[in-house]
Structure 1
Amino acid sequence: MNKRAFILAFAALTAGPALAADPATIDWSKIPVVKVPLFYPGQSSYEWLRSDNHKGAVKETKRGDACTSCHDEEDAEKDIGNELVKGGRLEPMPVKGKNGYVELSVQAAYDAKNAYFRYQWKTNGKAGIEYPYYRFDGKEWKVYGGPRLDKDVQEGKQPPIYEDRLSMMLDDGKVPGFAEQGCWLTCHDGSRDMPGVKSKDEVAANPLMAAIKKNDVRKYLPATRTNPSDWTTGKSVEEIARIKADGGFVDLIQWRAHRSNPVGMGDDGYVLEYRNFDAGKNPFASNLDKDTKQPKFMYDAKKFGAKAVTAKQAGKKESFLIKGKNAVPFDPKAGWKEGDMLPRYVLSASDATGSGADNKATGSWKKGMWTVVLTRPLGLTNDDDKTLKDGGVYHVGFAVHDDNITTRGHQVSFVRTLGLGAKADIQAVKLP
């Protein structure tokens, strides 16, 4: 070994590991704030954008022009959202009091280990920290509550209950069209709360959906269908695997106020032939035993104060069910009464494993505003992750769900660029 090689090897051995910042100690006042406008999109799917109903822009959309090539005027997002949320051509089920526009503040920083994202936005009403429950009706445990786009909720048969959520889609340039049209590549007719929804049996009978064991249609990328505008024309599992191996998927990072925030995490997923979770396990799992049709866990009465909650208590206390904190195995002989309710998901940071456990996140709600800080490791090499690295530039899209709503009842952004130490719309600052 020559002298120079010896010095480099010695330096590598003695330098010690690179240190990661504690997100709670980052001085965010020194990190630039980028205001990203989000708007209510209604049922403006991939197919609608390419139909004659998208007047004045069909030709441009079909040839792959960016959405912002037309919608580039000031307050464009605010005007679109405030119009669509009222109902009409793209909203057959308007939600009373729903906001059409949200301003999302985004800050980004990174060090040798992680990227850090700080988000702030005002909610439409109080913080949504609940998810629909299982309620005992005297004989069976049935779902109680739902999002405000559900027919039963709109008709008053179920109360509006759903968690707030923040999502970030991210691509590194390997998904054709994402840089121009963002999440509209993933949103299609046939999906939940979109035109042309089919029954579970009809979806399960489709060859691709049967192969991946799904009974509903969710987000997918055009490259996974022989006809991008027809979800039924799925390519083979082998073809889709090749697309994934080439990086032709969009990363989907989500923070959830009920299912991930109480245990300091955000879930990790990706969009390809479906809206998938990453390999491994999430910090949340179903609380229903498929065989007994009863919950798996109940509250530890000694720690929580009761073995269940009631409808009157829902929303008045933090009802998270967390392993190692307030959850114990369900006892079917515990004297259950009609009206007793238990969460549909049980949470555990220690149970989260593999690629699905990559993202950490904490959120707090104060004076009508969420502040969420998400930590994402750099240099991930999992086959279901986009790799963030120093000097990299990425295309990102954001979405916010609030006001007890899910699926298309969110506010979304047009595409922005994200740079880690590189010029972009959102420039992550390198921490000392």
Structure 2
Amino acid sequence: LALDVSKGVTKYIAASRTEIEEKGRRGKALGGWDKLKDAAAIEAELANGQFMDLLRWNADGKVENGYILDQRHMTGGAPVEAQGWLEAGIWTVEMKRPLRPGTAGDLDLEPGKVYNFGFAIHDDYTNARFHHVSLGYKLALDNADAEVNAVQASVSAPAAGAAPVAAAAPVAVAAAPSAAAAGKAVDTGVDWSKAGERLITLFYPGQTSMEWTLVGKYHGGARPFQAGDRCSTCHDKETANMGKKMVTGEKAETTPIPGKRPGIPVTVQATHDADNLYLRFQWEGTEHVPVPFVDGGKMDPANQVKLAVMFATDEVKYANQAGCWGTCHEDLRTMPGHPEDPAAAGLALDVSKGVTKYIAASRTEIEEKGRRGKALGGWDKLKDAAAIEAELANGQFMDLLRVNSSDGSTEDGFVLAERMMKGGQGFDASIANDAGYWSVTIKRKLTSDQPGDLSIEPGKVYNFGFAIHDDYTNARFHHVSLGYKLALDNDTAEVNASAQ
């Protein structure tokens, strides 16, 4: 047959065959690869539009334009311009194709008409049928009813045959509500291709306090944890599934928000120069899901997103194993054991909005088992002011940074007796939503002489965790990471801040 079968039979469509067996009755072989029409008939079918137009971009920069009729042809079409790149774990591919190429095997795209559209991705070095494919969709020009609506716009053409690059342009994906960039330009001169990178999936934690994790009837991992295991040892690859249990109300959540996503995959990059640590967080945004038990559906209408980061040494109880979980207790505001009137205790705490985060070093005791009906936690077992001051001086705190999306403002504080959102040396940050993807960049000095600020030194390893309040949420209705290890130029650290 007049086919190139050097690599086997390739794709074909029905118009190229005299018959195709589609039912396989009486043992007939399915298909019709060998029932090829003659060359003249194939040529006539091509002229009559019986083909599938085919474009392909390859990660080495090669672009192919062909079609499928009697077989898969990877050449013959009009020139197509395309480029692609991988940045922060996200691939972007852009194509520029003439609407009316006027070439055999190329489909002219005209206003007022609707076309069939599909695409496939060979990822992770695969080939042939080992790809991921879309279903068939409808594409049209300026047609809101089409599933893929190509809206007329002024765009810049990509460079023809551009090679893939790392850390080049901002990620571009399907359009979504955007927020203006806020904050300072903090990474001028930073080469992000030199940064360490890790994909961390945050999850919705519900009402799983530190005490909850230590009680076997609530948490099956209580015994391994008490034996010294880290949370990430067991759960690093299953955070999305954990979040699903909580966000649906199946486990440890008394007020679920219908439609709230269970997890957020976040690309985390870390690098440093002689003076500063740079962190960049990138993740996909979400459509707004109104909170049914809040007027207006938004807990924090001013801030669509807040991102918080915590650092601590191993000296802070549970930081080594659980990261920031050691600050979350059963008796905090909105948690099951929160006090109704904390101000009545007369403690030297700001409880105007309820009890906030604290660590064990600030209390004389914390009830962790709840035996004989004892209330979990220890919010009211506060040490005196002198003892608190001494603990702070001894490094008993969780350093806390937060960035707000409304205006790019930053807060630099710490957690000890309560959550303090000020007192640190300060840091610079930018936050932006670009085409549905959020990006937060933090520039923080490596060293500080301020109480509650952790100095980050070469050769040492620190506990690191972060949380995102997305979709206008507040308090415990966030997505959180497990605890990870951060260090400078240390390949064994889970978050390795590589040198510039």
| TM-score of the superposed pair, with normalisation by structure 1 | 0.65
2:313 corresponds to which residue? 172
Alignment-mate amino acid for residue 425 of structure 1: E
Matches within 5 A, 1:4-403: 23-71=187-235, 74=237, 76-125=238-287, 151-153=293-295, 161-163=301-303, 164-199=305-340, 202-207=341-346, 210-215=347-352, 216-228=354-366, 229-259=377-407, 261=408, 265-279=409-423, 355=424, 358-403=426-471
| Higher share in helix | 1
Give the CA deviation at 1:158. Answer: 7.5
Alignment-mate amino acid for residue 208 of structure 2: S
Q: Distance in 2 between matches of 1:408 and 1:22?
A: 29
Q: Distance in 2 between matches of 1:159 and 1:274?
A: 22
Q: Distance in 2 between matches of 1:84 and 1:213?
A: 29
1:337 corresponds to which residue? none
Alignment-mate amino acid for residue 68 of structure 1: S
CA gap of 1:225–1:149, structure 2 versus 1, over 3 A, is: farther
Give the CA deviation at 1:254. Answer: 0.9
1:414 corresponds to which residue? 482
1:430 matches 2:468: no
CA gap of 1:158–1:408, structure 2 versus 1, over 3 A, is: closer
For CA contacts below 8 A with separation 6 or more, give which structure has more relative contact order. 1
Question: Residues 37 and 104 of structure 1 are in contact (CA less than 8 Å); yes or no, is this contact kept in structure 2?
Answer: yes
Question: Residues 245 and 251 of structure 2 are in contact (CA less than 8 Å); yes or no, is this contact kept in structure 1?
Answer: no
Question: Residues 149 and 193 of structure 1 are in contact (CA less than 8 Å); yes or no, is this contact kept in structure 2?
Answer: no
Structure 1: give runs of 5+ residues left out of the alignment.
1-20, 127-146, 280-354
CA gap of 1:407–1:159, structure 2 versus 1, over 3 A, is: closer
Give the CA deviation at 1:386. Answer: 0.3
- Secondary structure at the aligned position of 2:358 is classed as coil
Give the CA deviation at 1:203. Answer: 0.9
Q: Distance in 1 between matches of 2:404 and 2:193?
A: 25
Question: Residues 203 and 240 of structure 2 are in contact (CA less than 8 Å); yes or no, is this contact kept in structure 1?
Answer: yes
CA gap of 1:53–1:359, structure 2 versus 1, over 3 A, is: same
Q: Distance in 2 between matches of 1:159 and 1:392?
A: 39
Runs of 4+ with deviation above 4 angstroms: 147-150, 156-160
User: Rg larger in 1 or in 2?
Assistant: 2
Give the CA deviation at 1:176. Answer: 2.3
CA gap of 1:54–1:106, structure 2 versus 1, over 3 A, is: same
Alignment-mate amino acid for residue 57 of structure 1: G
Question: Residues 271 and 498 of structure 2 are in contact (CA less than 8 Å); yes or no, is this contact kept in structure 1?
Answer: yes
Q: Distance in 2 between matches of 1:398 and 1:110?
A: 18
Alignment-mate amino acid for residue 44 of structure 1: T
Q: Distance in 2 between matches of 1:217 and 1:149?
A: 22
CA gap of 1:159–1:214, structure 2 versus 1, over 3 A, is: closer
Write out per-residue CA displacement over residues 188-240 of structure 1, whole angstroms, 9 at most, x where no aligned residue. Answer: 122122112223xx311224xx3234342000102222222221211212211
CA gap of 1:248–1:150, structure 2 versus 1, over 3 A, is: farther
Q: Report how many residues are paired.
A: 303
Alignment-mate amino acid for residue 293 of structure 2: K
Alignment-mate amino acid for residue 420 of structure 2: N
- Secondary structure at the aligned position of 1:29 is classed as helix
Give the CA deviation at 1:420. Answer: 1.2
